[in-house]
Amino acid sequence: MSWIITKYLITAALVVLISEVAKRSDKLGGLIAALPMVTLLTLIWLYVENQSTEKIANHAWYTFWYVVPTLPMFLFFPMLLNRFGFWMALGMSAIITIVSFVLFALVVKRFGVELW
C-alpha cells in the first residue's frame, strides 16, 4: 500500500510542479508539460513492478499513437479560449480530440495499427 501512495505522491508532485512553473513562465511550463514525464514515470513504475518487457514496450508504442491525435487540441484551445471562455473551450477541445482520435484510428488501421 505504501508503494501505491509513493507513486501517487511522486506523480501528483509532477503535475503540481508543472502548474507552478507555468504560473511563472508560459514557455518553460509548456516545455516541461510537453516532456513525456508521466510516460517515463509509468515506464519506470512498470519496470520496478516487474512487468514484462513486452508490456513495457507496448505501453510506449501505444502512447506514441495516442499522442498524435491529441495535438490538434493544443492548436485550437488557445483560439477557442479567447472566443468562448475556459469551460466551453475545454469541452470543444475534448470533442476535437475525440473526433481526431476516431479519424486517426481509421487512417492508421489501414497500415496495420489497431488503436481500438
Is position 28 within any domain? no
Instruction: Name the domain count of the chain.
Output: 1
Is position 15 within any domain? no
Is position 11 within any domain? no
Is position 48 within any domain? no
Banded model confidence at residue 56, pLDDT cuts 50, 70, 90: very high
Is position 81 within any domain? yes
Is position 86 within any domain? yes
For residue 62, what are the domain limits? 53-116
Can you give the pTM of this predicted structure? 0.75
pLDDT at 49: 95
| CA gap 64, 59 in Å, rounded | 9
Share above pLDDT 90 across residues of the chain, in percent, rounded to a whole number: 82
The model's pLDDT over 66-101, given as tens digits with 9 standing for 90+, comes to: 999 999 999 999 999 999 999 999 999 999 999 999
Are 92 and 80 in contact, with CB atoms under 8 Å apart? yes
Is position 78 within any domain? yes
Is position 10 within any domain? no
Share above pLDDT 70 across residues of the chain, in percent, rounded to a whole number: 100
Banded model confidence at residue 3, pLDDT cuts 50, 70, 90: confident
| Cell matching residue 21 | 512553473
| Cell matching residue 5 | 501512495
The model's pLDDT over 13-36, given as tens digits with 9 standing for 90+, comes to: 988 999 999 999 999 988 888 888
CA distances in angstroms from 73 to 9, 19, 25, 97, listed in the order given:
28, 19, 21, 6
